[in-house]
C-alpha cells in the first residue's frame, strides 16, 4: 500500500471517528432532554472533532516519521544479507546499484542495466514489504488507540469544545512559529556552512581579496582564489548603481506624473500597466536582456569605439534590472508623496508657485525620507536578484567600472558554484553559503534601515 | 527702514522682465510635466517592446514545418492490416513493426539516400499516433505530413544555415513543405532536438510544485495571520514572529534555495530535483506573502462583527472561524493568488535544489525528478541551437498567459467579493 493510499485511509477512518463521536454525543443530548442531569456541555460536533483529532494526529505523525526513517532501515536490512558482500566497495557504484534495485522493486523501472542489481530486487521487495507492513500496522494501531481513548472519555459533562479550541489555538501558534523556524533555519544553515568554509579559507582572503577564481583544493595560507571583492563590486555596480540610475528617475517621475498631473482615467489605466512590469517573472527579463538588450548595447558600444565591449555586458543586466525595479520605486514614492499633508501643498500653491515648483521645493523635500526608504528597499531587491544577472551578466570576476565590460555578481557566483557536480562538503559549495550569508546580512540591514526610515517619517506627519 | 519700504516701486507685472520670468517658469513647468510623461511612456514602451519581442518570436515556436511523405503501407509493412493494429494489442503490434525503419525507408525512396535526416526524431511518435487514431491508414497508400528536422525548420521559417536554406529551397519548389500547428510543443517533454521539444513535462512539474506550495503555505499562512491579528498577546515572542515574517518577505529568493539545499536535501535526505522539495522551498517563500495579505484582510473586518458574535455567547475561536474568517476570505484568497503567481514565476531557488535536470518524460509522482516551466525557459535559453530561441519565447508566452490569468482572477475576486465596511 502506498503512502498516499494509507493517508487517505487514515483520513477516511478519521471521518468515521468524527461520525462516531458526534453520534455518541447526540445520544447524550437525547438522553439529557428532560433528564435529571441537566444539559450536555458541548455541541455534538465538538465531540466528533475531539475523537477525530485524537485518532488522526498521532497516526499521521507516526506515518511521516516512518516515511523518513524507513528507507534507511530498508537499505540496512538489504546490506545485512550475505548476497550483498560482492558489491563494489566504491561508494558511487554501490549507490547506483542499490538505487536501481530499489527502483525496480518499487516498480518505477522495469529492466535492470546492471547485472548485480537484478539479484537484489527480491531482497528489496521483501524488505520494502516488511517495513511498509510495519508502518501500516503501527499507523492503524495508533489511530485505533487514539480514537478509542478519546471515545471512552466522552461524557455528557465532558468539555469537548474547550479541548478542541485549545488544540486549535496550539495549531495557530505553531503556524506562526514556522516563520521563526524558517528564519532560524536560514540563519543557522548559512552560519554553519560558512563556518566550515572559513575554517578552510581565511575570512580575510574572502573579505578583502581581489582575486576570484575559486580552486576546489584549498591550501591554507596560499591564495586560493576566494577573494570576493570583485563580486561585491559587481553586485553594487549592477544592482545599486546602473539599475538605480534607471529606476530612480523613471520610477520617481512616473509616480509624480501619475499622482500630480495625470487625469484619474489615465491613472487608472497606467497603474496596472506599471504593476505588470513587477509581475513579469525575472527569468523572462533575463532572457530579454540576454537576447535583445545585450547585443544591442554591444553594437552601440562598438559604434562608439569601445573595442572591448562584451556581449554579456554589465549595462544590459543593470538596465533591465532597473526597469524591473521601477514599479517598486514608483509605488513607494507614490505612498510617501501622498502622505505629505495637503496643507503644505495648498500653502505653496497659494503663494503663487507653479505645480512643478511646489513638487520640487515642497513635496519632494517633505517626502524625501520615504523616497529614500523606498530606494533602499529597491537596492535590496536588486542585489538579491538572480535570474537577470545569471542570464545576462557574465561569469568572469572583473574589477572594473566599464559598463560595457563583463562583470559578475554574488548571486551569479552562488548559482555557478552550486550547479556543478560537487560534493556538498567541497569548498565550492561552502563558498556559495558564505556568499549567501553576506547577501543575507546585507539585505537584512538594508531592509531594517529602510523600514525604520519609512516608519519614523510616517510618524512625523501623523 | 520704513522709509525704504515706502519708496519701493511696485512690481511691474506686465513689464518685459517679469513677463519673461513668468514665461520661463511656465516653460519649466511644461518641461517637468513632459519629463513625467516621458518616464511613464518609457516604462510602458519597454513593457510593450518586451511583450512584442516575445510574441513575435514565440508564435513561431507554436508552428512547425511539415514535409509530405508518401507511405505505401502495404509494401512497407509487408501486408499489415487495419485489424492488426486495432484493439488491445495495437500498441504491441506497432512496436513489433519497426516504425523507424519503415519511415526511414519511405523517406529514402522519396527524397534520396539521406532522406531520413530530413525528419525530426518526434516524427516516429507522430506516425504512431496517426496510425493508432486511424488504423485504416495502414491498408493503403498515404501522404502524411511529418515534422522536419530543426535546421530545416529554422531555415523555412527565417534565415538558417546555408546548406539547410538550399535544401528548403529545393523542397519548396516541389511543394512538399507546409506550416502546421506544433502539438508536440504542448504535449511533449524536453529533448535535445528543438523541433521535438514540448513543455508538458515542465508544466506538469510546475503544477505539482504549486500544489505542494499551496497545500502548505495556505493553511500555515492563514493560521499565522489569524493568530497574529486576533489572539497574539503583546510580548517578546509575538514581536519576534512579526519581525521574522517581515524579514522573510524581503529575503532574496536565492537564499531560500540555499535553505532548501542545506536542510531538505542534505539534512533530511529528501529526493533531489523533486517537486516535493521544490514545493516545500517555495512554500516557505510564499507563506510570508499570504500572512501579510491575510493580516490586512482580517484587520479590515470591523470590530462590531466580533463584538456581536461574542455578545451572543460565541467563544473566541468560534468568533474567528465562524465570522471573521469567512468575511476575510476574499482578501486572503486575493493575496494567496498573487503569492502563488510569484512562486510560479520563480526560478532561482529551484535551480539551487537541482530542478534543472534534463527531464525527457513528465514526472509521475511528487518524488520523481522534475523541472518547472521557468527553469525550462532558463535551460532552453542556454542552448546553442538556434531552434531553441523560438521555443524559449513560446514557453515564455505560455508562462505569461498563466500569470496574467492568475492576476486577472485575483483582481476579479477582489472586485467581486471585497466589502467596503
Chain A residues within an 8 Å CB radius of B266: 424
Asked if the model's pLDDT at residue B240 lies above 70, the reply is yes
The model's pLDDT over B191-235, given as tens digits with 9 standing for 90+, comes to 888 888 889 999 999 999 999 999 999 999 999 999 999 999 999
pLDDT value of residue A108: 65
Nearest to A387 among B248, B344, B348 (CB): B348
Question: Which ipTM did the prediction report?
Answer: 0.88
Kindly tell me if the per-residue pLDDT of B5 is higher than 70: no
Q: How far is B76 from chain A (nearest CA, A)?
A: 31
Asked if residue B49 has pLDDT above 70, the reply is: yes
The average pLDDT across A284-296 equals: 92
- For A433, the grid coordinates are 553559503
What is the per-residue pLDDT across A100-131, written as a single tens digit (0 to 9) for each? Answer: 777 777 766 667 677 777 777 788 888 888 88
Residue B22 has pLDDT above 70, yes or no: yes
Backbone φ and ψ for A246, nearest 5 degrees, come out as -85, -45
Q: What is the pLDDT of residue A421?
A: 63
Nearest residue to B253 via CA among B275, B274, B284: B284
Residue of B36, B248, B346 with shortest CB distance to A183: B248
Please judge whether A356 and B32 are an interchain contact, meaning their C-beta atoms are less than 8 angstroms apart. yes
Read off the pLDDT band of B58 (50, 70, 90).
confident
Nearest-by-Cβ selection for A193 from B241, B246, B262: B262
Q: For residue B245, which residues of chain A lie inside 8 Å, CB to CB?
A: 179
Q: What integer pLDDT is reported at residue A91 of this predicted model?
A: 64
Cα separation, A172 vs A168, in Å, equals 6
Q: Range(s) for CATH 1.10.3720.10 in chain B?
A: 200-417
| pLDDT confidence band for B363 (50 / 70 / 90) | confident
The pLDDT score that the predictor gives to residue B7 is 72
Which chain B residues contact residue A442 at CB under 8 A?
none
DSSP string, B214-281: HHHHHHHHHHHHHIIIII--SSHHHHHHHHHHHHHHHS-HHHHHHHIIIIIIIIS-PPTTBHHHHHHH
CATH topology of domain B200-417: MetI-like fold (1.10.3720)
Q: How confident is the model at residue A89 (pLDDT cuts 50, 70, 90)?
A: low
Region B6-13 average pLDDT: 76
CA-based nearest distance B259→chain A, Å: 6
Instruction: Give the model's pLDDT for residue A109.
Output: 67
Give the per-residue pLDDT at B48. Answer: 93
| Residue B292 pLDDT | 94
The pLDDT of residue B213: 95
Residue A90: band (very low, low, confident or very high) from pLDDT cuts 50, 70, 90: low
Query: What is the mean pLDDT of the segment spanning B51-80?
Result: 83
Distance from CA of B177 to the nearest CA of A (A): 29
A-B CB pairs within 8 A amount to: 244
* Contact (Cβ atoms closer than 8 angstroms) between residue B335 and residue B239: no
Label residue B367 by pLDDT band (50, 70, 90): confident
pLDDT tens per residue, range A298-309: 999 888 887 777
Domain ranges of chain A: 3-158, 229-461
- Hey, which bits of B10-51 come out as E strands? none
DSSP B9: P
Give the architecture (CATH level 2) of A229-461: Orthogonal Bundle (1.10)
Which candidate, B150, B151, B131, B132, places its Cα nearest to that of B142?
B131
pLDDT score for A173:
94
Model confidence at B6, pLDDT cuts 50, 70, 90, reads low
Residue B46: which of A171, A261, A323 has the nearest Cβ?
Answer: A323
In the prediction, which pLDDT does B252 show? Answer: 93
How confident is the model over A204-227, as a mean pLDDT?
82
Q: Which residues of B19-56 are buried (b: 16+ CB within 10 A; e: fewer)?
A: eeeeeeeeeebeebbeebbbbbebbbebbeebbebbee
Of B44, B268, B317, which is closest to A68 when you measure between CB atoms? B268
- Closest by CA to A315, choosing from A293, A335, A291, is A293
Interface membership of B317 toward A (CB under 8 Å): yes
Has residue A371 got a pLDDT over 80?
A: yes
pLDDT tens for residues A69-80? 887 788 888 877
Q: Cα separation of A102 and A434, whole Å?
A: 36
For A353, the closest chain B residue by CA position comes to B25
**Highest-confidence range of A107-121, A203-217, B237-251, by mean pLDDT?**
B237-251
Q: How confident is the model at residue B8 (pLDDT cuts 50, 70, 90)?
A: confident
Question: Which chain A positions have a beta carbon within 8 Å of B315's beta carbon?
Answer: 161, 165
- A82 or B406, which is more confident? B406
Residue percentage of chain B with pLDDT more than 70: 98
Mean pLDDT over each residue of chain A, to the nearest integer: 86
- Rounded Cα distance, A312 and A304, in Å: 17
User: Chain B window 231-290: which residues touch A at a Cβ cutoff of 8 Å?
Assistant: 231-232, 240-241, 244-248, 250-256, 258-259, 261-263, 266, 268-269, 284, 287-288
pLDDT digits (tens, 9 = 90+) for A422-459: 667 788 888 999 999 999 999 999 998 988 888 777 76
pLDDT in tens, B113-168: 777 778 887 788 788 888 778 877 777 777 888 888 888 888 887 777 787 788 88
More confident residue, A103 or B46: B46
Give pLDDT tens digits for A352-369: 999 999 999 999 999 988
Residue contact B29–A287, C-beta within 8 A:
no
Q: What is the pLDDT of residue A462?
A: 62
Supply A411's cell numbers. 548571486
Query: Is the pLDDT at B421 greater than 70, yes or no?
Result: no
State mean pLDDT over A385-395.
Answer: 90
- Answer whether B396 sits within 8 Å of A360, measured CB to CB: no
d(CA A158, CA A163): 9
Is the pLDDT reported for residue B369 higher than 90? no
Say whether residue B315 is in contact with chain A using an 8 A CB cutoff.
yes
What pLDDT does B207 receive?
Answer: 94
More confident residue, B70 or A175: A175
Q: Do B244 and A290 touch (CB under 8 A)?
A: no
Report, in angstroms and rounded to the nearest whole number, the Rg of chain A calculated over CA atoms. Answer: 32
8 Å CB contact of A274 and B36 = no
Inter-chain residue contact B252 with A386, CB threshold 8 Å: yes
Q: Which pLDDT score, from 0 to 100, does residue B305 have?
A: 93
Rounded distance between C-alpha atoms, residue B404 and residue A276, angstroms: 9
* CA B35 – CA A355 distance, rounded (Å): 14
Q: Write out pLDDT tens, residues B276-316.
A: 999 999 999 999 999 999 999 999 999 999 999 999 999 99
| Of A172, A281, A377, Cβ closest to residue B223 | A172
Assign B50 a pLDDT band (cuts: 50, 70, 90). Answer: very high
Residue B373 has pLDDT above 80, yes or no: yes
The predicted structure's pLDDT at residue B238: 92
Which chain A residues are within 8 Å of B317, Cβ to Cβ?
A: 165, 168-169
pLDDT at A411: 94
Cβ distance of A186 and B259 shorter than 8 Å: yes
Best mutation target, B244, B256, B408, to test chain A (most A CBs within 10 A): B244
Q: Is the pLDDT of residue A25 over 90?
A: no
Query: What is the total residue count of chain B?
Result: 421
Does the beta carbon of B357 lie under 8 angstroms from any beta carbon of chain A? Answer: no
- On the question of pLDDT at B384 being above 60, the answer is yes
Per-residue buried b or exposed e for A254-285, using 16+ beta carbons within 10 Å of the residue's own CB: bbbbbbbbbeeeeeeebbeebebbebbbbbbb
CA nearest to A453, candidates A342, A376, A338, A344: A376
Neighbours of A450 (CB within 10 A): 22
Which residues of chain A make contact with B284, given a CB cutoff of 8 A?
182
- Coil, strand or helix at B145: strand
Q: CA nearest A252: which of A169, A331, A153?
A: A331
pLDDT one-digit tens code per residue, A147-189: 999 988 888 888 888 989 999 999 999 999 999 999 999 999 9
Q: Which residue of B has its CA nearest to A434?
A: B258
Amino acid at each position: 500500500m502506498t503512502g498516499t493510499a494509507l493517508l487517505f485511509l487514515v483520513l477516511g477512518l478519521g471521518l468515521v471517528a468524527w461520525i462516531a463521536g458526534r453520534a455518541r454525543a447526540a445520544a447524550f443530548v437525547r438522553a439529557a432532554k428532560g433528564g435529571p442531569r441537566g444539559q450536555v456541555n458541548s455541541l455534538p460536533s465538538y465531540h466528533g472533532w475531539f475523537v477525530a483529532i485524537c485518532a488522526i494526529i498521532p497516526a499521521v505523525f507516526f506515518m511521516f516519521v516512518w516515511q523518513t526513517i524507513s528507507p534507511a532501515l530498508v537499505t540496512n536490512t538489504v546490506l545485512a544479507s550475505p548476497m550483498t558482500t560482492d558489491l563494489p566497495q566504491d561508494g558511487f557504484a554501490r549507490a547506483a546499484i542499490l538505487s536501481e534495485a530499489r527502483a525496480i522493486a518499487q516498480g518505477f523501472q522495469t529492466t535492470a542495466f546492471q547485472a548485480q542489481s537484478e539479484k537484489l530486487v527480491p531482497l528489496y521487495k521483501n524488505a520494502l514489504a516488511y517495513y511498509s507492513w510495519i508502518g501500516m500496522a503501527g499507523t492503524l494501531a495508533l489511530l485505533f488507540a487514539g480514537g478509542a481513548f478519546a471515545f471512552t472519555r466522552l461524557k455528557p459533562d465532558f468539555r469537548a469544545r474547550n479541548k478542541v479550541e485549545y488544540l486549535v489555538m496550539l495549531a495557530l501558534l505553531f503556524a506562526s512559529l514556522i516563520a521563526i523556524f524558517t528564519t532560524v533555519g536560514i540563519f543557522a544553515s548559512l552560519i554553519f556552512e560558512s563556518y566550515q568554509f572559513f575554517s578552510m579559507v581565511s575570512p580575510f582572503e574572502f573579505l578583502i581579496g581581489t582575486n576570484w577564481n575559486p580552486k576546489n583544493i584549498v591550501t591554507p595560507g596560499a591564495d586560493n582564489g576566494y577573494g570576493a571583492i570583485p563580486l561585491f563590486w559587481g553586485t553594487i555596480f549592477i544592482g545599486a548603481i546602473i539599475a538605480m540610475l534607471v529606476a530612480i528617475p523613471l520610477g520617481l517621475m512616473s509616480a509624480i506624473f501619475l499622482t500630480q498631473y495625470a487625469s484619474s482615467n489615465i491613472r487608472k489605466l497606467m497603474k496596472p500597466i506599471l504593476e505588470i512590469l513587477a509581475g513579469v517573472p525575472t527569468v523572462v527579463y533575463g532572457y530579454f536582456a540576454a537576447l535583445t538588450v545585450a547585443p544591442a548595447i554591444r553594437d552601440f558600444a562598438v559604434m562608439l569605439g569601445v573595442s572591448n565591449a562584451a556581449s554579456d555586458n554589465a549595462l544590459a543586466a543593470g538596465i533591465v534590472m532597473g526597469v524591473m525595479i521601477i514599479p517598486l520605486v514608483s509605488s513607494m514614492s507614490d505612498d510617501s508623496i501622498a502622505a505629505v499633508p495637503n496643507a503644505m501643498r495648498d500653502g505653496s500653491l497659494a503663494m503663487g508657485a507653479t505645480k512643478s515648483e511646489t513638487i520640487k521645493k515642497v513635496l519632494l523635500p517633505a517626502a524625501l525620507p520615504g523616497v529614500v526608504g523606498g530606494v533602499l528597499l529597491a537596492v535590496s531587491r536588486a542585489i538579491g536578484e538572480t535570474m537577470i544577472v545569471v542570464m545576462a551578466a557574465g561569469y568572469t570576476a572583473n574589477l572594473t567600472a566599464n559598463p560595457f565590460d563583463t562583470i559578475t555578481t554574488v548571486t551569479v557566483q552562488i548559482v555557478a558554484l552550486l550547479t556543478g557536480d560537487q560534493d556538498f562538503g567541497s569548498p565550492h559549495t561552502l563558498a556559495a553559503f558564505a556568499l549567501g550569508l553576506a547577501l543575507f546580512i546585507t539585505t537584512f540591514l538594508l531592509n531594517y534601515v529602510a523600514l525604520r526610515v519609512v516608519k519614523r517619517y510616517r510618524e512625523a506627519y501623523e | 527702514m520704513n522709509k525704504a519700504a515706502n519708496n519701493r516701486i511696485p512690481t511691474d507685472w506686465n513689464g518685459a522682465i517679469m513677463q519673461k520670468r513668468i514665461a520661463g517658469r511656465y516653460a519649466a513647468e511644461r518641461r517637468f510635466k513632459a519629463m513625467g510623461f516621458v518616464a511613464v511612456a518609457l516604462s510602458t514602451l519597454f513593457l510593450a517592446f518586451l511583450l512584442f519581442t516575445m510574441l513575435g518570436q514565440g508564435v513561431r515556436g507554436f508552428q512547425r514545418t511539415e514535409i509530405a511523405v508518401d507511405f505505401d503501407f502495404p509494401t512497407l509493412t509487408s501486408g499489415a492490416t487495419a485489424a492488426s493494429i486495432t484493439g488491445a494489442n495495437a500498441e504491441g503490434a506497432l512496436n513489433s513493426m519497426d516504425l523507424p525503419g519503415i519511415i526511414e525507408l519511405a523517406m529514402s525512396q522519396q527524397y534520396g539516400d539521406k532522406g531520413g535526416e530530413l525528419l525530426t526524431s518526434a516524427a516516429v511518435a507522430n506516425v504512431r499516433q496517426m496510425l493508432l487514431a486511424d488504423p485504416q491508414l495502414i491498408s493503403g497508400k498515404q501522404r502524411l505530413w511529418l515534422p522536419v528536422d530543426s535546421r530545416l525548420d529554422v531555415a523555412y521559417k527565417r534565415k538558417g544555415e546555408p546548406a539547410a536554406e538550399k535544401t528548403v529551397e529545393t523542397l519548396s519548389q516541389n511543394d512538399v513543405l507546409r506550416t502546421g500547428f506544433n502539438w508536440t510543443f504542448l504535449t511533449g517533454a524536453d529533448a535535445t532536438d528543438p523541433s521535438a521539444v514540448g513543455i508538458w513535462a515542465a508544466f506538469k512539474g510546475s503544477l505539482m510544485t504549486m500544489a505542494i506550495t499551496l497545500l502548505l503555505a495556505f493553511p500555515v499562512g492563514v493560521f499565522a495571520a489569524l493568530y497574529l491579528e486576533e489572539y497574539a498577546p503583546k510580548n517578546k515572542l509575538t514581536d519576534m514572529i512579526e519581525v521574522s515574517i517581515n524579514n522573510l518577505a524581503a529575503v532574496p529568493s536565492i537564499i531560500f534555495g540555499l535553505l532548501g539545499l542545506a536542510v531538505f536535501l542534505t539534512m533530511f535526505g529528501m529526493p533531489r530535483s523533486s517537486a516535493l522539495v521544490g514545493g516545500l522551498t517555495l512554500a516557505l517563500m510564499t507563506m510570508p506573502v499570504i500572512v501579510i495579505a491575510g493580516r490586512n484582510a482580517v484587520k479590515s473586518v470591523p470590530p462590531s462583527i466580533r463584538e456581536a458574535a461574542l455578545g451572543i455567547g460565541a467563544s473566541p475561536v468560534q468568533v474567528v472561524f465562524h465570522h471573521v474568517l469567512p468575511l476575510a476570505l476574499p482578501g486572503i484568497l486575493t493575496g494567496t493568488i498573487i503569492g502563488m503567481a510569484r512562486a510560479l514565476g520563480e526560478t532561482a531557488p529551484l535551480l539551487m535544489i537541482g530542478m534543472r535536470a534534463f527531464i525527457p518524460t513528465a514526472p509521475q509522482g511528487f518524488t520523481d525528478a522534475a523541472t518547472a516551466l521557468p527553469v525550462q525557459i532558463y535551460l532552453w535559453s542556454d542552448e546553442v541551437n538556434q531552434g531553441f530561441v523560438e521555443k524559449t519565447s513560446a514557453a515564455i508566452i505560455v508562462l505569461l498567459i498563466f500569470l496574467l490569468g492568475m492576476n486577472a482572477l485575483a483582481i476579479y475576486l477582489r472586485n467581486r467579493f471585497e466589502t467596503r465596511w
